[in-house]
Amino acid sequence: MDRGEKERGAAGMTIVRKAVRSARLQVRPDGSLRVVAPPSFDVEGFVQRNAAWIEERRRDLDRLAAEGRGREGMLLLSGRFYHLVPGARFAVDDARGTVASPSVPALQRNLSRMLKEEVSGRLEACPDLAGRWSGRIAVKVQRTRWGSCSTLGNLNFNLRVIALPEPLREYVVVHEAAHLRELNHSERFWRLVGEHYPDHRAAEAELRRYWVIIERNRVWSEF
C-alpha cells in the first residue's frame, strides 16, 4: 500500500504527499496538524485558509483534555490519576494514590492481565450477548479504537480501556460483545446495545474525552 511521502511542515505539522483528489486536514488530540495533500498542493495556503477552524478545534480538544492538565506524567487507571513509583512488584495503592512497578514492560503486562480478567468476567455476566461464544480475547496497544470484533468472533480490546472509569469499561465490553450478534453499527446493533447500556450516547461522548486525555498522557505514550 502506498502510504505517501512524509515531509515536515511548520512546527507541529506533518504533511503526507499522496495522489489524492483533495487535501485533508486533521487536528490531532495533542493539537498538532496532519495534512494529506497531492504532491504540488499549496499546503501553507490551505492551512492559513483554515486557521479559524484549526484554532476552534484546538480549543475543543483543550476543553476535553482539561481533567488531565497538569497530570500528564501520572498514570490514568480506572478513571483516577496515580503516581507511578518503582517497586519490586506490581501493586496498586489506592490510599496513597500510587502504582508500583519494576519496569514499563512489567506495568504493561499487569495492566493487560487486569483488563483481560475483567473482560472475561463481564462477558460471563452477559450470556445473552456472548451466548456459547468460543472466540478469544486479546488485549493490544492500539492507536485508533477502543476495541473490535472479528468475523471469527474474536474480541480485541485496547489496553487503554483499563484507564477508563468502571462504567465506561463496562460500556466498551457491551459494545464489542454486541458485535458477536450484529457485526455492524446498524439500528439493530444500537438497539441491542441500548438494552444492556441505555446511556450509550453519553458513554460515547465520554470516550472521546478520555481518548484526548490519554493521547496527551506521557505515561500512556510509553506503551
Quick one: cell of 139? 488485549
Q: From CA 30, how far away is CA 166, in angstroms rounded?
A: 25
CB under 8 Å to 35, separation ≥6 — which residues? 9, 13, 14, 15, 16, 23, 24, 25, 26, 43, 46, 47
Reference 44, options 9, 17, 20; nearest CA is 9
DSSP 129: H
Q: From CA 190, how far away is CA 20, in angstroms rounded?
A: 34
Q: What is the pTM of this model?
A: 0.88
Question: Is the Cβ–Cβ distance between 36 and 21 less than 8 Å?
Answer: no
Q: Are strands 13-17 and 33-37 parallel, antiparallel or unpaired?
A: parallel
Q: Are strands 91-93 and 155-158 parallel, antiparallel or unpaired?
A: unpaired
| pLDDT in single tens digits along all 223 residues of the chain | 345 666 666 668 999 999 999 999 999 999 999 999 999 899 999 999 999 999 999 999 999 999 999 999 999 999 999 999 999 999 999 999 999 999 999 999 999 999 999 999 999 888 888 777 778 999 999 988 999 999 888 999 999 999 999 999 999 999 999 999 999 999 999 999 999 999 999 999 999 999 999 999 999 999 9
Q: From CA 143, how far away is CA 160, in angstroms rounded?
A: 9
Quick one: cell of 99? 502504582
Using CA atoms, how far residue 84 sits from 1, 81, 92, 99, 130, in Å, is 40, 9, 9, 5, 36
Q: From CA 217, how far away is CA 223, in angstroms rounded?
A: 11
CB under 8 Å to 30, separation ≥6 — which residues? 215, 216
Quick one: cell of 79? 478513571
